[in-house]
Structure formats: structure tokens, C-alpha cells
Amino acid sequence: MRFALSAVAAVAVTALAAPAQAATSCYGGASLGFSAASTPVIAHDLVWGDRIELADLDASGVSGGLTAGCDWRINSWVIGGWGDITWHNADLKLDFLGVPFVDVAIQNQWSLGARAGYFVADNILLYGLVGWTRVETSDLDFLGIPFSLGSLNGIVLGGGVEFEIAPNVVLATEYRYTNLGDEIVAVDPGFTNFELEPEIHTARAIVKYKFDVAR
């Protein structure tokens, strides 16, 4: 996270040092892609101090979303801010002898962040991004008993390439990695906790319409 923020800051300093040929643009768009989510389920015995990995859950599915942001371009460099929402279709579950053992679904994801990039050609932008994210999930279902997870917060890292395919129309391909840290669920308060460490990998295509704000 610290490295990514340093990289964004370095791009900003380099851009500001160049002769000014600046433009500001904003955009809105939609995305469609594929997400793969995974987490271990680790049981903590609070009485004896034991730690047992019960299962590794993984799932994948189609994801789609809406995005918006603004970029500031100086010469070939770009820095900007963005926000988006993504809807996932990933149900992390494990059955034992045909009976649901553990089940939790990734539902939607809100993200805010910054990006920095470089135009390698007049209409091709390479960029990296970093941000904060909040993921909403279903309840964690353990042997038919639901436990609330609430909202999971974490970081997003990624990058992509954008092509201007028509005036003001941009097509992008992008990869994102989401790390949601550790989440503790008290399945038997005072005796047993479950620990989850969710991650999401997302590859997606984005179509954006952009418009100039200042030039």
C-alpha cells in the first residue's frame, strides 16, 4: 500500500516538473468481467488456544458495475481519482456429504481511489491504481446457523490499459486485486471464533464516455 501511494506521488511530481500542457477530463462508464474470490476458514479454540484450518473456500462468477472519475493530464502523464460499485456473483461454500457446511456469498463492492498513468501512444494509456474498498456479503452460514459478517473493508491494487476507440469513447481492460484483511466471527462466544481472510481477483472490460472539463 505504501509503495503504491509513493508511486502515485512520484508520477505527480514528475508531471508537475514538465512544461505545462494540461487538460482535465471526467468520465462515466460501465464494466463487465469475471471475479474469483477465496478465503480460508480457520477455527480458533479460545479455551485451549488451538487453531484449525477447517476449509479453503473459493468461487468465481460474472461481475458488473458502474464507474466514474476525473483525470488531470500533463503532457503524457495522467493522475486522477475514481469511484465505482461492482456487483459480484460469487458464492463461497463447502458441502459435506451433501449437507451445507460453510456458505457465504460476495455481493457488492464499493471502491474509491487514485490512479496514475502514461500515454504510450496518442490513444493508449497504461495506468496503475490503488484504493480503499468496502464489500458487502451475505451472512456466514455454518451448519445452517447464520452469523452476520457486516461490511468488510480493505485495499484494492491493480492496473490496466485504455484505448480511445472513438472521440470521447474509451475501452479499457483492467485487473484488480482486493485484500479484505482478517475478519473474526464469534460462532460460540467465549469458546470458538472463525477467522476469514477474503481475497478477490477481478478481470474486467470497461467502456467509458469522457468529456473535457478544462484545457
CB count, 10 Å around CB of 95? Answer: 10
61 and 86 in contact (C-beta within 8 Å)? no
Per-residue pLDDT of the chain (215 residues; tens, 9 = 90+): 554 445 444 444 444 444 456 689 999 999 999 999 999 888 888 888 888 888 888 999 999 999 999 999 999 999 999 999 999 988 888 766 566 778 888 989 999 999 999 999 999 999 999 999 999 998 888 878 888 887 899 999 999 999 999 999 999 999 999 999 988 888 888 788 888 999 999 999 999 999 988 76
169 has which bridge partners?
Answer: 166, 209
Predicted confidence at residue 96, as pLDDT, reads: 66
Q: Alpha-carbon distance 14 to 183, whole Å?
A: 39
Q: Report which of 183, 214, 215 is spatially closest to residue 198, judged by C-alpha positions.
A: 183
Task: Determine the Cα angle at 145 with ends 144 and 148, to 5°.
Answer: 130
Predicted confidence at residue 143, as pLDDT, reads: 78
85 and 53 in contact (C-beta within 8 Å)? no
| Helical ranges in the chain per DSSP H | 2-17
* Architecture of the domain spanning 2-21+29-214: Beta Barrel (2.40)
Q: Alpha-carbon distance 147 to 156, whole Å?
A: 26
Q: Report which of 78, 94, 2 is spatially closest to residue 40, judged by C-alpha positions.
A: 94
pTM of the model: 0.84
Q: Alpha-carbon distance 41 to 51, whole Å?
A: 11
DSSP character at residue 2? H
